[in-house]
Chain A
Amino acid sequence: MRHHLYKSIALILVILFAGCEILGPDSDPGEENLISVPEGFAPIPIPTHNPVTPAKVELGERLFFDPVLSRDGTVSCASCHFPEVAFADPRTLSVGVDGKTGLRNSPTLVNIAYQKLFFWDGGALTLENQIFGPLQDPNEMDADLNEILQRLNDDASYVEGFSAAFDDVPTLQTLTQAIAAFERTIRSGGSRYDEYINGDASALSAQEIRGLDLFNGKAGCNTCHSGFLLASDTFENNGLEFANSDSGRARITQDPNDFAKFKVPSLRNVVMTGPFMHDGRLASLEAVLDHYNAGGTGSRGQNPVIVPLGLTDDEKNDIIAFLGALSDESIMIGLEQ
């Protein structure tokens, strides 16, 4: 309820500001705020065909949380991307309509706008088009597109929302634009690690600083997890045992060199986003550190930089402590800034 109160206040403020705006229709007063980012972050890339506006974001947020988009009205995007755990899923495998499960673990949607390709294998080319994945997947929302458009067009409040956001009725184009615009506002609010990087030496504890040094040094984690997202735009094989015939990136590219490669995930908020890896096979950060410390499993296609690290228990704990400092103080969502 608190949640909604804040939202309403924010909305009223946005409306008030919008009312005062005299610069003309091109400059949207809300937009800048909706996609502002902490110091050290790159600006959020926004496609020119789908600018982020308050009306669109409000509509997209409603759609994201509304099970009306699933076949039987039981599953929403938020059923597998929980706001309270950085829009990830604490379950190993997410559960869709009729209790069905797929093969992969739901990744966080925080800072999703920075991703170049979507899904663990990069199979989806844009955030807008990605939405058809869960919408139509029989293990997820299993929606009939005609039917959900009909439902939205039959709902006067949705018709009003689409009209306010797009001056149009619900269509696949406006539906996907609204949800994607909302998703682009889900972003980090900065962590203690950011404060440290930005010059506040006291923001990290001594143990966390030791962990940071190991992460960038002896453990070599930054070979793959780098930049402000502690991720990379590439697909790598970090030496997990091959499972479920999931060949990862190779499924998309049909290139044997991509065998069992997966997108290098961002480590921001990682203490919240477990269980870990594309299929959620590792339950804890301890298990993750044990995996890397052992030098992977020597599986087919393992990246040669994954080698036994010789980390002591204390060193592993230092890295885990450092990963804890990557939690954002707040996660900014939609109109609640």
Chain B
Amino acid sequence: MKAFSTLLLLPLFVVALLLTGCDSTVTGEGETTTVTLFLQPVFDGAPLSSDLSTVYDLNGTAISFTSARMYISEIELVKADGSTVPFETEPITVPAKDANDNDITHTVTDKIVLVKHDLGTHKYVLGDVESGEYTGVRYKVGIAGTTNRVDASQVPANHPLAKQTDRNNHWSWSAGYQFVRVDGLVDSDSDGTPDEVWETHLGTANFLTDVESSLDFDLTDEEAVDVHIMLDYKSLMQDVDLSDPDQRLCHTADNLPVANKVGSRISSSLMLHGVHESTGSGH
């Protein structure tokens, strides 16, 4: 019986495959555009090196980076008519807690990006959008609402919300994900060599940041484009004085003054540079 039904299903499967094949050739021809987020790390306008020993000057203090990470979510392109186009990915359904701490399951379809500049990765394929005229890009830095209350331990390993094994992207407690994680070494004895740890880990709803950039771009006849955004780490950290030991460690709630200094800079340290024909593959 089983074998029989499998046999019956086989031709159907082949037909389905053929159909999906046709589908993508039709829509591929100029009607949709593959959009890649190209998030370029810079420090004071110059490229940030993925060589972790590179020393930078932050307002007269020598610093280096070991982590340069950021969560970007709810990315949308704004169309000329004012409507928005979100990006979605393979849904995951995971355990979470609601606002009253009751156990629920939560489905995430949003195309979330965990930017790992410390690993030198800059490009993230977002998905396909319809051709047409667009007027801007919107996204959030951070993870909003119930998605920030999922059980990270239960997210499949290849998803950006999964607990990362190389360094923390999630507090093991209810604060959820670390929206911005930058840390490294700072010169504590003014000899020009960074020698002491600094850490800025920003999270919680208070620091969820909406970013919106206006720019007219036309996606007619474009097969693939890069949405090129520059993240300037100097600009992000410019209000923090890392020569002051009290400003070196910030895990949000334990150092709100520093968290506020960095949080208020998020939006202005992200600059939409342009939407260009794609220069290479992301991941």
Listed in ascending order, the chain A residues whose CB lies under 8 Å from chain B are: 45, 47-50, 116-117, 119, 122-126, 128-133, 136, 145-146, 149, 171-173, 176-177, 251-252, 254
Residue of A nearest to B173 (CB): A123
- Within the complex, the shortest CB–CB distance from B174 to chain A, in Å, comes to 5
Please determine whether A133 and B173 come into contact, CB atoms closer than 8 angstroms. yes
User: Among A49, A145, A252, which residue has its beta carbon within 8 angstroms of that of B95?
Assistant: A49
Given contacts A145-B165, A172-B162, A173-B157, 5 further A-B contacts (CB under 8 A): A47-B95, A126-B95, A129-B172, A177-B154, A252-B174
Instruction: Give the chain B neighbours of A171 by CB distance below 8 A.
Output: 157
Q: In the complex, A128→B162 CA distance in Å?
A: 13
Smallest Cβ-Cβ distance to A133: which chain B residue:
B172
Contact of A254 among B166, B172, B173, B253 (CB under 8 A): B253
CB contact under 8 A between A176 and B153, given known A116-B101, A124-B174, A129-B172: yes
Q: Which residues of B contact A136 (CB under 8 A)?
A: 168, 172
Q: For A123, A125, A145, A176, which residue has the most chain B Cβ atoms within 10 angstroms?
A: A125
Q: Could you pull out 13 A-B pairs where Cβ atoms are within 8 angstroms?
A: A47-B103, A49-B94, A116-B102, A117-B174, A122-B101, A125-B149, A126-B97, A126-B103, A126-B153, A126-B154, A128-B95, A128-B154, A133-B173
- With a cutoff of 8 Å between Cβ atoms, the chain A residues found around residue B174 in the complex are 117, 122-125, 252
Q: How far apart sit A263 and B170, CA to CA, in the bound complex (Å)?
A: 23
Known: A47-B103, A125-B151, A254-B253. A172 touches B157 (CB 8 A): yes
- The verdict on B152 contacting chain A, using a C-beta distance below 8 Å, is yes
Residues of B within 8 Å of A130, CB to CB, are 172
Cα–Cα, bound, A176→B156 (Å): 12
Q: How far is the CB of B201 from chain A (nearest CB, A)?
A: 13
- A125-B101, A125-B174 known; A146 and B166 CB under 8 Å? yes
Query: Smallest distance from the beta carbon of A92 to chain B beta carbons, Å?
Result: 23
Q: Mark B50-75, 1 if CB is under 8 A from A, else 0.
A: 00000000000000000000000000
Bound CA span A300–B157, Å: 44
- A49–B154 touching, CB < 8 Å: yes
Given contacts A47-B103, A129-B172, A172-B157, contact A149 B151 (CB under 8 A): no
Interface flag for B234 (CB, 8 Å)? no
Which residues on the B side are within 8 Å of A252 (C-beta)?
173-175
Closest to A130 in B: B172
Q: How far is the CB of B30 from chain A (nearest CB, A)?
A: 41
CA gap between A124 and B174 in the complex, in Å = 6
Please tell me the number of chain B residues within 8 Å of chain A, measured between CB atoms.
28
A126 touches B172 (CB 8 A): no
Q: A123-B173, A252-B174 are in contact. Are A132 and B163 (CB under 8 A)?
A: yes
Q: Please give the distance in Å from A56's CB to the nearest CB on chain B.
A: 14
A145 near B163: Cβ-Cβ < 8 Å = yes
Q: Could you tell me the distance in whole angstroms from the C-beta of B104 to the nearest C-beta in chain A?
A: 10
Contact between chains at A173 and B173 (CB < 8 Å): no
Whose C-beta in chain A lies nearest to the C-beta of B256?
Answer: A254
Tell whether A117 pairs with B95 under 8 Å between CB atoms, given A125-B149, A129-B172, A136-B172.
no
Q: A125-B149, A172-B165, A173-B154 are in contact. Are A117 and B101 (CB under 8 A)?
A: yes
Measured CB to CB, the closest approach of chain B to A251, in angstroms, equals 7
Contact A146 B101 (CB under 8 A): no
Bound complex: CA of A252 vs CA of B151, how far in Å?
Answer: 17
Is A129 touching B165 in the complex (CB atoms < 8 A)?
A: no
Q: How far is the CA of A212 from the CA of B162 in the complex (A)?
A: 48
In angstroms, Cα B101 to Cα A251, docked, is: 16
Contact of A129 among B151, B157, B166 (CB under 8 A): B151
Residues facing A in B135-168 (CB within 8 A) are: 149, 151-157, 162-166, 168
Residues of B within 8 A of A146 (CB): 165-166
Note all chain B residues with C-beta closer than 8 A to A116. 101-102
Tell me the smallest distance from the CB of B155 to a CB of chain A, in Å.
8
> In the complex, A171 Cα to B174 Cα: how many Å?
22
**Binary contact track B84-98/A, C-beta < 8 Å → 1, others 0:** 000000000011110
A251–B253 CA distance with the chains assembled, in angstroms: 8
Min CB distance, B64 to chain A, in Å?
21
Contact, CB under 8 Å: B95 / A119: no
Known: A126-B151, A172-B153, A173-B154. A119 touches B173 (CB 8 A): yes
Question: A47-B95, A119-B173, A133-B173 are contacts. A173–B153 as well, Cβ < 8 Å?
Answer: yes
Tell whether A149 pairs with B165 under 8 Å between CB atoms, given A128-B153, A133-B173, A173-B153. yes
Chain B residues with CB below 8 A from A172, complex form: 153, 157, 162-163, 165
Q: When chains A and B are docked, how far (Å) is the Cα of A132 from the Cα of B166? A: 14
- Going nearest first, the 4 A-B pairs with the smallest beta carbon separation are A123-B173, A132-B172, A145-B165, A176-B153
Enumerate chain A residues within 8 angstroms of B154, measured Cβ to Cβ. Answer: 49-50, 126, 128-129, 173, 176-177
Q: How far is the CA of A16 from the CA of B173 in the complex (A)?
A: 41
Q: Which residues of A contact B95 (CB under 8 A)?
A: 47, 49, 126, 128
Which chain A residues border B166 with CB–CB below 8 Å?
146
B203: min CB distance to chain A, Å: 12
CB pair B172 A124 closer than 8 Å: yes
Please report the C-alpha to C-alpha distance between residue A216 and residue B102 in the assembled complex, in whole angstroms: 29
* B-chain residues with CB within 8 Å of residue A149 when the two chains form the complex: 165
Provide the bound-state CA to CA distance between A47 and B153, in Å.
Answer: 14
Q: A50 CA to B152 CA in the complex, in Å?
A: 14
List the B residue with the shortest CB-CB distance to A126: B151
B170: chain A residues within 8 A (beta carbon): 132
Question: Looking across the interface, which residue of chain B has its beta carbon closest to that of A117?
Answer: B101
Residue of A nearest to B252 (CB): A254
A123 to B105, alpha carbons, bound, how many Å? Answer: 19
CB distance from A86 to the nearest CB of B (A): 24
